[in-house]
Structure 1
């Protein structure tokens, strides 16, 4: 049964999105005992399709994840629904505790929990998120090409976002809202690209039927728009790592918080690795999946190094280097893998 947890695993993957499932698939194919624990709340759930993903262009997010879970299970990996509540050091590895009280042990952790988009407090914004309220032109630009697009100034990247969306439409408006003041250079760039600036706070969205029809300003003025781009504040889902001393930090670009790691995905806590949006907020689905594969290979190499150190110690002096029970377990493990 794939919804059951055994007592211990080589790797517990926390998060079952593109990064987590790709990492688990790689580890399962490396003959590692691996389980994915997923809370079932993917960031891109509201979107109609995943775009820019080679050979899977436009696939529904839910279908992509269903396929991924089936592939992981096909190689002997487990996929379990649950939310990780806490992680602690235990037996040279980690004890992972779920919200329902279940606990499992892991030699290594691969954290791929993604992030949460914190949106501006504008009436109607959240309900349209992922539909006609957008953030990434590479994810959604083609779908709103040549339409009337608004860009809500809500973060340090808003002007850049407006300039990007101008590639997909000649009708782009920049709503200053409560965003940071524009520099002279930015103001000139917007003017040069024909992007009209609308000052004043945005109060709400105007919805007609089941589509965005416009943006209502604080003074009651309604500006017709068919799509609205918003820069969310992106915050890593990683509160459960606090007991290990691992906490999200401000991203250098000022777009939110992420879990810092080196180029291989290794964090400041030995044995804990990260991949996908939890560490790289800008990663699209394809990039997150690639990161999952890459980081999983680093995790496996780390485990191989540890297994080799143990094997060398036993080879040199089986009973003084390890207990008799440990030696028997090593031998049994080799036999299970046909070695």
Structure 2
């Protein structure tokens, strides 16, 4: 089912993953007009199943999202395929323009576009991403338990990843990739029985449509069943530039995110963010919870605005009738008292 994009909504949700759909669900259940604009590029698309999600353990990602879209629609929300190209301020909130030229107005905006994984420049790595090339022990580690696992150095979390995967298998090899670990890191790896390979990694080996090993620059092949990498994660929020929102470096050093308070509120009034765009490490359950929080906060913010306008009308019906939206928060500014 494909919904038609209306002219305006209380809330436009950009991104139809767990965060965006759960935010839309909360808003639709609050009887808000809401549309989810989804580019159809979920980060976890290559994965066989979603893990660590209570009640839905192992559910294929596409199935989980399909259920979410149906639930949003069941409460009157719209879900529209498309890619948001730009957002600008408008008198009543925001003007949202899609890549195909369609446009829609929104009083509030929920950004849930997720992130892009920038993988190390190793031939063959991208093709196995989400299969035998992994990054998260909690998402897919159990599936490679007791197997031969390699960890490719390349980020601030690489040694930490190796130690976490050591919990799942006795056979972990750390590929230093030409950069020698610090003395304390070497000690920790050695203490846990993790072998360190110093040579530069040239490519991954694949046979019968499966990763079989890691090839070094000198031609040596180290047999492995899976390879763990630390991608640089960058929030997909370039379309927010015109309203002054830009990604910033995450405190972990793992990439760039859109900064927000614990409820998802950004520095631009009327814009919230949820999921991996804000929290690079969030799994599906955490992303969905953040979406629910943001949805509830957006509804409360709209209620506060509507109540303020209603009080103005109650006090002075004539003035309020001539300018019903006077006193509403100006897009891009914090309301008074915040």
Deviation of residue 102 (structure 1)? Answer: 0.6
- 1:42-71 Cα deviation digits (max 9, x unpaired): 000000110111111100000000000000
Deviation of residue 2 (structure 1)? Answer: 4.3
Rounded Cα–Cα distance in structure 1 between residues aligned with 2:35 and 2:2: 9
Change (3 A) 1:295 1:178: farther
Deviation of residue 324 (structure 1)? Answer: 7.4
* SS of alignment partner, residue 86 of structure 2: strand
The reply on whether 1:287 has 2:293 as its aligned counterpart is no
* SS of alignment partner, residue 174 of structure 2: strand
Aligned to 1:308: 307
Give the 5 Å matches for 1:178-197: 178=178, 181-197=180-196
Aligned to 2:224: 225
Deviation of residue 91 (structure 1)? Answer: 1.5
Aligned to 2:29: 29
* SS of alignment partner, residue 215 of structure 1: strand
* SS of alignment partner, residue 322 of structure 1: helix
Rounded Cα–Cα distance in structure 2 between residues aligned with 1:261 and 1:216: 42
- The unaligned stretches of length 5 or more in structure 2 are 327-338
Aligned to 2:70: 70
Aligned to 1:46: 46
Give the 5 Å matches for 1:188-267: 188-267=187-266
Change (3 A) 1:326 1:262: closer
Rounded Cα–Cα distance in structure 1 between residues aligned with 2:92 and 2:325: 14
Aligned to 1:5: 5
Aligned to 1:276: 275
Aligned to 2:160: 160
Aligned residues of 2:52 and 2:139 also touching (Cα < 8 A):
yes
Aligned to 2:16: 16
Rounded Cα–Cα distance in structure 2 between residues aligned with 1:252 and 1:144: 29
Rounded Cα–Cα distance in structure 2 between residues aligned with 1:263 and 1:39: 26
* Residues paired across the two proteins, number: 326
Aligned to 2:335: none
- The unaligned stretches of length 5 or more in structure 1 are 328-339
Deviation of residue 325 (structure 1)? Answer: 7.7
Aligned residues of 1:15 and 1:37 also touching (Cα < 8 A):
yes
* SS of alignment partner, residue 222 of structure 2: strand
Deviation of residue 322 (structure 1)? Answer: 3.4
- How much is the aligned-residue C-alpha RMSD, in angstroms? 1.3
Aligned to 1:132: 132
Runs ≥4 in structure 1, deviation > 3 angstroms? Answer: 324-327
- 1:145-197 Cα deviation digits (max 9, x unpaired): 00000000011100000000000000000001155x42221111000000000
Q: TM-score, normalised by structure 1?
A: 0.94
Rounded Cα–Cα distance in structure 1 between residues aligned with 2:63 and 2:71: 12
Deviation of residue 16 (structure 1)? Answer: 0.2
Q: TM-score, normalised by structure 2?
A: 0.94
